[in-house]
Amino acid sequence: MSYGRMHRKEDARFIRGRGNYTDDVRLPGMLYGAILRSPHAHARIVSIDTSAAEAHPKVKAVITGQTLAGLGLAWMPTLSQDTQAVLATDKVRFQGQEVAFAVAEDPYSARDALELIDVEYDPLDAVIDARKAMDPGAPVIRDDLEGRAGNHIFDWEAGDRARTDAIFEQAEVTVAQDMLYPRVHPAPLETCGAVADFDKVTGKLTVWCPTQAPHAHRTLYAMVAGLPEHKIRVISPDIGGGFGGKVGIYPGYVCAIVGSIVTGRPVKWMEDRSENLMSTAFARDYHMRGEIAATRDGKIQAIRVKVLADHGAFNGTAQPTKFPAGFFHVFSGSYDLEAAHCEVTGVYTNKAPGGVAYACSFRVTEAVYLVERMVDVLAAELNIDPAEVRMRNLLKPEQFPYLSPTGWEYDSGDYPKALRLAMDMAGYDKLRAEQADKRARGELMGIGISFFTEAVGAGPRKHMDILGLGMADGAELRVHPTGKAVLRVSCQTQGQGHETTFAQIVGQELGIPADDVEVVHGDTDQTPFGLGTYGSRSTPVSGAATAIVARKVRDRAKIVAAAMLEASPDDLEWADGKWSVVGDPSTGKSMAEIALAAHSNLELPEGVEGHLDAVTVYNPPNLTYPFGAYICVVDVDPGTGQVKVRRFVAVDDCGVRINPMIVEGQIHGGLADGVGMALMQVMAFDEDGNHLGASFMDYLLPTAIECPAWELGETVTPSPTHPIGAKGVGESATVGSPAAVVNAVVDALRPYGVRHADMPLTPANVWRVINGDPFRTDLAIP
Amino acid sequence: MQVPAKFEYERADSVPHALQLLERYGPEARIVAGGHSLIPMMKLRLAQPEALIDINGLASELGRIAVEGDELAIGALVRHAELLDDVTATDLFPIFRDAERVIADPIVRHRGTVGGSLCQGDPSEDLSAVFAALRATAVIQGPGGTRTVPVRQFHQGPYETAVEPNELLIQLRVPITPGTGSAYEKVERRVGDWPVAAAGAVITVSDGVIAQAGIGLTAVGAEHFCAPEAEQHLIGRAPGEEVFAEAGRIAAEHCEPHSDQRGPADYKRHLAAELTRRALARANRNVPGSATV
Amino acid sequence: MRITVTVNGQPYTREVEPRLLLVHFLRDELGLTGTHWGCDTSNCGVCTVQLDGVPVKSCTVLAVMADGREVTTVEGLERDGELDAVQKGFVECHGLQCGFCTPGMLLTARWLLDRNPDPDEGQIREAISGQLCRCTGYENIVRSIRWAADASHSQEARQ
């Protein structure tokens, strides 16, 4: 058995400081680039004077939008059929937008060169508040797009409007709540960057860059730069965290490539932290209104949602073509509803482009937050315990596979069991009793529940693509003559431990130790095509591909073993990691023995080639639907508004767990993320479009002090559509936890009649909520 | 990564040498010690000094903490971590323990210095409020010798201090008064952050009444980081919750906080009152020999 | 300016600009890329190294300030082929995922255990509170450091 807790193979290099991240890449003759960015949110570029920078003795090139326009590279496609400026030519559309790229002999001189570039801007009124983006007379941000007279991008809807509306009209009880899921940034500790090396002689371009999707990058570079795809090699070395922020292609990558083509030398560009926070993929920024129709005894009948989505200046979100709001469909949650309907409107604003990033990139996080907040609003309205409201409405195990009111087929689950386990672990009744005592004494304690269902593992290629590329992933497996194996996969770890987990899958399927399996990833010249790691899709898609390719190898091994045993393959069975004649374990042939035979002079049956390898492409038949029940306990200081997360209980069901240690680590990280988003992380903008969270001094991430000791529990409901029953877990905790924290804080504030408070629940925000005067968290605090 | 612009660098080997170097390089030179305020500003190129004069080698002159007569002397080069670890200082003045545990983070505290914190003159700086509450005296050395400035006159505006370009802050002197308790209360958005607001309190109780009181406030627009009207209210009154609450209300009235992303002005004003009240109550509790209120 | 810095026990003499940050001296001049950088404002702590045995954020220390002093980086933790207990602890307890904050965390952990061989959970959390981790939620880092403390005790007991 290869499944189970196992130390990570990756750790040996990381604990010695021997990881190899993009900034660790050093090539002979390498130059260094730096980007000059716009100080304005919206301004016309009058002129750019690069002469002083070019005169700097260590500067090798200064590239502007004009330079790129000459090469046809000033604009590039986004992952959502929009275009984005690589370097601005006409005007800048967000603070921090890329304007010029200086290349110098050392990184310090490249930075110095930026101060020597003189740009004259003609400032324009900016659209900062998404709620005003479609006002008549609002400045038009994308006047580069033909026929655009406003800032509207798309309207999209899901569910049955007529049926939903009809239920609302008849309902005994309805509740409504406006809420904001503010703009946040994944902020991996390694920023983005690239090393580009264009070899003029061979015409080959090699790009090192921390990308979660190396193959998608290669294809896009071929499309953008017009370079032949077989002459592009993308290498994604060790990545210092991604969380979705390293899916997209950023202008800096293209600049590094152009810099290398122009100078004939390798060019490295690494963004600094402010650049990272100001210009790379943010997430969320959903202004939502949720409504629930229910019976007086708390049976939820329908949910209705309206969303205004702030996509920034370029629509850079990475969604399947059919789904501009991703998988927001899951806003109907984990509940047995009669009907649901949502409509989403996307708008441009003068803020950084994106929406691609931050587990979960497919808008599942927003959907789960919405429904879990709304259930608590309903519970408060009906004065029923929020756990009880959930118990009355959760889907029952016998309802699976369950067709949701928005048309998605939830694969499997036992929801009440997970919630009961979480309540038992938390000691729910005791906590409520303690809360009552404290309330009597004027102390504020809150208990928050969140029950989430995720939709991950995108996805069936018929429905899901990125820029027309279907979301299927390949895997190749070779077993060498001595029985050691090499697996090549298209996804790319950013810390999830693929080198260990995927080796365990192969080990499990072939009956060899995981230590005997090397996992190759992150290099387009070395791995099969696939769309990479995001949306918790590695185990659901590449993990499935791995299991299937291993089974193909095992099937081929069976034929070889049959030849070795001079038996018919039909007479063999797979037992204890060996092929043996049915009923005679003494005949068992191990994978190592079979591999050696497969490479030997053994005569194989007609039509069977030698060697022991296989290739596959996995096209998922359905998404997978991990779920979980979270309970958060907070204490709130009424005098200061400070929130302390005292406990956090998380019961996750992600199907079969390959390496429980790694799964738990994934959950821990996601829970910390949730606490961070709920309590401190936000990117607000002032009315001029100045980014008010452009460094780690102002964009606050949780430390070990804010995080409690996580209490984890598990249930296991295998996915019926996944070859090994796994569902994926990378984003579960990030998706599920913010609502639990917010629900806990709102619960604590019930004595003040509070029904809702927007994230982040900073001390100031909580105090103002207590005083009935909350401020908008997406704008400057007035 | 952001990097500083070019500058000249000199290492001082004594205080007089540092002063000579300041003289030589003129007003565009800056003293650097821990560098945790200055170097980030230089990386952002918001500060571009022509020369840095490094005084990290002056620990024997400027890095000591000692009781001298009825004062506690703290060298300007004392690192935050050293002050936090100095039992003499923190036993005499628990306000140091309270404050130093919440200034930046443990790693930054290994480098950042007491003098550097004060000289940065940031209106949200913690120790400025602490020393204001303690009514400390700053010792400044210049070409003409040393002079002393009460800490309550040290800050002359945001990022402006009494230290002239050719001078060096060398020491803080804190009066030791028997029967004194002290405490610091800070609200921050997250551990390690600058304060949303913070209050320090120092009270001396004699014959059951408050004989002396110091209240330091930071990040709330309190002039010179102190609250003299609130202090006045305390003098001669018996310590107690109602008195402390009233002092908090008075302190808050005299603040001029500004809204920023840490919080709106009304909230900061509220905190000025609330944290002053809490700090006074805790200061009173740790007055040596005091019965718990 | 010519400086000599002893890094992991070995002296290195280099000519550097005064503005060169210690983190870049280690990474670019000496090729010791185990020390990372993650922000510009000394908030994230991934650049943490020990300077004369005390953890500092090397993005906010000038290389010239380390002249004549001793620096320990993650590359110096392993001695004679034997991993430090904190390195073993991080492997045992899954104290790392992407590995980017790990070197800094290890150096702080080593310092903490040198100063306090038996820290409780609260002391560990406080010690690492100036360093961000985006992957682990800190729980397993705390356990890793505690594991290292226990392992060191049991080793002492054996000796």
CA dihedral A662, A663, A667, A669 (to 10 degrees): 20
Model confidence, pTM: 0.97
DSSP characters over B112-141? -BHHHHHHHT-TT-HHHHHHHHHT-EEEEE
Domains of chain C are 2-76 (3.10.20.30), 85-158 (1.10.150.120)
Distance in Å, alpha carbon of B262 to nearest chain C alpha carbon: 17
Residue A652 phi, psi (nearest 5) = -115, 140
CA closest to C92 among chain A residues: A7
Whether residue C144 is predicted with pLDDT greater than 60 in this model: the reply is: yes
**Cα separation, A383 vs A389, whole angstroms:** 10
- Amino acid present at A564: M
Whether residue A19 is predicted with pLDDT greater than 50 in this model: the reply is: yes
Percent of chain A with pLDDT over 70: 99
**Cα separation, A60 vs A70, whole angstroms:** 19
Q: What is the pLDDT of residue B182?
A: 98
**Cα separation, A8 vs A151, whole angstroms:** 48
Contact A14 C96 (CB under 8 A): yes
Q: Where are the domains of chain A?
A: 11-124+190-240+246-279, 283-458+622-770, 472-618
Strand ranges of the sheet holding A43-49, from the earlier edge strand across to the other edge: A91-92, A43-49, A118-123
Residue B106 phi, psi (nearest 5) = -55, -35
Q: Which CATH number is B62-175's, of 3.20.20.70, 3.30.465.10, 3.40.50.300, 3.40.50.10800?
A: 3.30.465.10
- Looking at the complex, does the CB of residue C109 fall below 8 Å from at least one CB of chain A? no
Q: Where are the domains of chain B?
A: 8-54, 62-175, 180-285
Selected residue of B3, B46, B186, B194 to mutate for chain A interface (largest A Cβ count, 10 A):
B3
Residue A48 phi, psi (nearest 5) = -130, 120
pLDDT tens figures, B251-281 = 999 999 999 999 999 999 999 999 999 999 9
Nearest CA to A340 out of A390, A391, A304, A293 is that of: A304
Binding-face residues of A in 23-52 toward C, CB within 8 A: 23-24, 26
Of A12, A19, A243, the CB nearest to C134: A243
CATH architecture of the domain formed by B8-54: 2-Layer Sandwich (3.30)
- Spatial contact of A412 and A720, defined as CB atoms under 8 Å apart: yes
Of C19, C56, C64, the CB nearest to B107: C56
Contact A764 B1 (CB under 8 A): no
Q: What is the pLDDT of residue A322?
A: 87
pLDDT tens figures, B203-259 = 999 999 999 999 999 999 999 999 999 999 999 999 999 999 999 999 999 999 999
Contact A241 C90 (CB under 8 A): no
Residue A318: band (very low, low, confident or very high) from pLDDT cuts 50, 70, 90: confident
- Spatial contact of A731 and A671, defined as CB atoms under 8 Å apart: no
Domains B8-54 and B62-175 are alike in CATH topology: no
CB-count burial class (<10 Å; 0-12, 13-18, 19+) for A482? exposed
Binding-face residues of A in 436-495 toward C, CB within 8 A: 494-495
Percent of chain A with pLDDT over 90: 91
Distances (CA, A) of C47 to A695, B108, B113, C55, C131: 16, 12, 20, 10, 9
- Spatial contact of C46 and C37, defined as CB atoms under 8 Å apart: yes
Please report residues of A whose CB lies closer than 8 A to that of C121. Answer: 709
CA closest to C79 among chain A residues: A16
Higher pLDDT, C157 or A345: A345
Q: What is the pLDDT of residue B291?
A: 55
Residue carrying structure tokens 């992407």: C98
DSSP conformation class of B104: S
Percent of chain B with pLDDT over 70: 99
Q: What is the pLDDT of residue B293?
A: 44
User: What is chain A's mean pLDDT, rounded?
Assistant: 96
- Spatial contact of B193 and B121, defined as CB atoms under 8 Å apart: no
Distance in Å, alpha carbon of A549 to nearest chain B alpha carbon: 43
Please report residues of B whose CB lies closer than 8 A to that of C45. Answer: 105, 107
- Looking at the complex, does the CB of residue A19 fall below 8 Å from at least one CB of chain C? yes
pLDDT tens figures, A348-406 = 999 999 766 676 768 999 999 999 999 999 999 999 999 999 999 999 999 999 999 99
Whether residue A460 is predicted with pLDDT greater than 80 in this model: the reply is: yes
- Spatial contact of B250 and B230, defined as CB atoms under 8 Å apart: yes
Helix extents (H) in B221-264 = 228-234, 241-253
Per-residue pLDDT, averaged over B134-141, amounts to 98
- Looking at the complex, does the CB of residue A108 fall below 8 Å from at least one CB of chain C? yes
Looking only at the bridges linking them, the beta strands covering A193-199 and A204-208 are antiparallel
Q: Which CATH number is A11-124+190-240+246-279's, of 3.30.360.10, 3.40.190.10, 3.90.1170.50, 3.40.30.10?
A: 3.90.1170.50
Of A641, A698, A703, the CB nearest to B261: A698
**Cα separation, A271 vs A209, whole angstroms:** 12
Q: What is the pLDDT of residue A169?
A: 98
Residue carrying structure tokens 């399947």: A320
Whether residue C157 is predicted with pLDDT greater than 90 in this model: the reply is: no
Both tokens of A85, joined, read 């400026």
CA closest to C2 among chain B residues: B9
Tell me the Cα Rg of chain B: 19
Selected residue of A109, A644, A781 to mutate for chain B interface (largest B Cβ count, 10 A):
A781
Please report residues of A whose CB lies closer than 8 A to that of B278. Answer: 639
**Cα separation, A344 vs A367, whole angstroms:** 12
- Spatial contact of A409 and A460, defined as CB atoms under 8 Å apart: no
Q: C-alpha angle with apex B153: B150 to B155, nearest 5 degrees?
A: 120
Contact B189 A272 (CB under 8 A): no
- Contact partners, residue B78, CB within 8 Å, separation at least 6: B62, B63, B64, B65, B113, B114, B115
Q: How many CB atoms lie within 10 A of CB A115?
A: 15
- Spatial contact of B253 and B204, defined as CB atoms under 8 Å apart: no
CA closest to C107 among chain B residues: B107
Q: What is the pLDDT of residue A226?
A: 83
Q: Which CATH number is A283-458+622-770's, of 2.30.33.40, 3.30.365.10, 2.160.10.10, 1.10.10.10?
A: 3.30.365.10
Contact C64 B11 (CB under 8 A): yes
Contact B108 C17 (CB under 8 A): no
Per-residue pLDDT, averaged over A613-620, amounts to 96
The CATH superfamily of B180-285 is CO dehydrogenase flavoprotein, C-terminal domain (3.30.390.50)
**Cα separation, A180 vs A156, whole angstroms:** 19
pLDDT tens figures, B58-107 = 999 999 999 999 999 999 999 999 999 999 999 999 999 999 999 999 99
Helix extents (H) in B123-253 = 126-134, 228-234, 241-253
Using the Cα atoms of residue B38, residue B41, residue B43 and residue B46 in order, give the sign of their dihedral: negative
Q: What is the pLDDT of residue C159?
A: 62
Please report residues of C whose CB lies closer than 8 A to that of B36. Answer: 42, 57, 60
Per-residue pLDDT, averaged over A474-485, amounts to 97
Both tokens of A33, joined, read 């680039």
Residue C153: band (very low, low, confident or very high) from pLDDT cuts 50, 70, 90: confident
Note if the bond before B165 is cis, omega within 30 degrees.
no
Domains A11-124+190-240+246-279 and A283-458+622-770 are alike in CATH topology: no
Per-residue pLDDT, averaged over A44-55, amounts to 98
CB-count burial class (<10 Å; 0-12, 13-18, 19+) for A281? buried
CATH architecture of the domain formed by A472-618: 2-Layer Sandwich (3.30)
